Structure 1
Amino acid sequence: MMDEAGLRARKKAKTRRALVEGAMRLFAEKGFEQTTLAEIAASAEVSTRTFFSYFAGKEDVVFFDAEERLERTLAIVGRREEGESVALLLLRVVEASVSWEDDLAHRLATERFRLVMTVPALQARALHLLFESQQRMADALCAAYPDELDPVSAAAAVGAMVGAAKLAAVMSLAKGEPYPQAWAAVRRAAQVVASGLDSLSHPARETV
């Protein structure tokens, strides 16, 4: 039974990967708007109905790893180390994000960045995902520091760190800099933000 379950899981992962690779290739060749779901499904040798077993639409294919990345982030926040400050925890989150080993994500990174920067539908989807992920991160951070953070402080910390890291990456990549240089920019931006989060190492106090 376990072998059968493992085989099914590997088959599903293989199909999902084929859909992502086929879709990204078609987006590069034909354009995002011009590519149909039927074409994406055919590129992976599955039906359009099967496509919907993996993704809700074309936008979700581009952000194929968004939920997995967020779950990894929430797991890090949920395993806060004893005595670890908010700033240090968020720095660990950023470092884990830029160091994440995923060959498919790395290989498609340049094309994905180009798509997100040029396709309005993908820009809208990216903003939605960013807002949702920051909300969930702020909730997790608040739960990790129940005696130090209130919802507003947690939201401010997450917004500052994520916003700085994202913008640093975008500005670097928009200048045509290679990804290692972009990740260096992200780390530098994160350090700048962390230096300003020291006040969150103490219990939150209401101001009059």
Structure 2
Amino acid sequence: MTEEMGRRERKKLATRRALVDAAVELFTEQGFDGTTVAQIAERADVSTRTFFLHFPTKEDVLAGEGDARVELGLRAIAEQVPGEGPDEAFARAMRTMIDDSRPEESELGRLRNRIAQEAPTVRTNILRRRHEAEELFADALHERFRDELDELGAKATVAAVMAATYAAAITSINHGASQAALQDAMHRAIEIGMWGRRRDR
């Protein structure tokens, strides 16, 4: 049963990646507004219905594997690490998510950033998804460290670190940074967002 579930999950992930890759190709070739969901599905060799099983809207394709990465971060926050406080737990969760990204995602990030300058619906979707992720992370952090961190403290911690890593990602993308350089910048941003500077480790 576990093995079968693993196969299903791998197939689901492969389909999502095929849809993202197809969307990137089409958005690059004919623009965001000029591309339809049906065209993305056809390029990925799946049905339009299958597209909507993976992504609610065309805008959501630009998020890539963002939902899966949020789930990864939530699992990391919930993990019980002896002696770990809320700051360390969230920093570890962010590092886990950053290190999980694929090299192709830097290309997707550049495309998403460019399209967001032209398409209001994409900008709105980015902000919505970021807000939803912040809420989920703050709730998870507060739940695990309820005796040490109140609701405001959890929200402030998450907002500061996510704002710093987002700024690092956008700056790196705008400078054409490699995936490795982008990840390094985001790691540094965690330290800045959490503690105000990069700590010696």
User: TM-score range, shorter-chain basis?
Assistant: 0.7 to 0.9
After superposition, give the CA deviation of every residue in 1:147-169 in whole Å (9 maximum; x if it has no partner). Answer: 11111111011111111111122
Distance 1:17 1:176, change over 3 A: closer
In our comparison, the structure showing a higher alpha carbon Rg is 1
Counterpart check, 1:73 vs 2:73: yes
Residue 31 of structure 1 corresponds to which residue in structure 2? Answer: 31
Change (3 A) 1:121 1:145: same
Q: Which residues of structure 1 form unaligned runs of 5+?
A: 197-208
Q: Equivalent pairs: percent with the same residue?
A: 36
Give the TM-score of the pair, scaled to structure 1: 0.81
Distance 1:195 1:3 in 2: 42
Corresponding position: 1:44 with 2:44: yes
Q: Which amino acid aligns with 1:102?
A: R
TM-score, normalised to structure 2, is 0.84
1:125 aligns with: 125
- Which residue of the partner structure matches residue 88 of structure 2? 88
Q: Give 2:163's aligned amino acid.
A: G
Distance, in Å, in 1 between the alignment partners of 2:4 and 2:178 is 42
Cα pair 2:26 2:40 within 8 Å, conserved: yes
Within a 5 Å distance, the mapping from 1:53-202 to structure 2 comes to: 53-102=53-102, 104-105=104-105, 108-195=108-195
1:182 and 1:7 mapped to 2: Cα distance?
A: 31
CA displacement at 1:62 relative to structure 2: 1.3
- Give the secondary-structure state (helix, strand or coil) at the position aligned to 2:35: coil
For 1:149 and 1:96, the matched residues in 2 are separated by 22
Query: What is the RMSD of the two structures over their aligned residues, measured on CA atoms?
Result: 2.5
Q: What one-letter code is carried by the residue in structure 2 that aligns with 1:26?
A: L
| Offset, 1:93 | 1.9
Q: Quote the Cα distance in structure 2 between the aligned partners of 1:172 and 1:7.
A: 35
Distance 2:9 2:155 in 1: 37
Stretches of structure 2 lacking an aligned partner (at least 5 in a row): 197-201
- Does the CA contact (< 8 Å) of 1:173 and 1:179 recur in 2? no
Counterpart-to-counterpart distance in 2, 1:105 and 1:185 = 15
- The count of corresponding residues between Structure 1 and Structure 2 is 196
Residues 188 and 47 (structure 1), Cα distance of their counterparts in 2 relative to 1, 3 Å cut: closer
Q: 1:158/1:12 Cα in 2 relative to 1: closer, same or farther (>3 Å)?
A: closer
Is the 1:22–1:44 contact (alpha carbons within 8 Å) kept by the matching residues of 2? yes
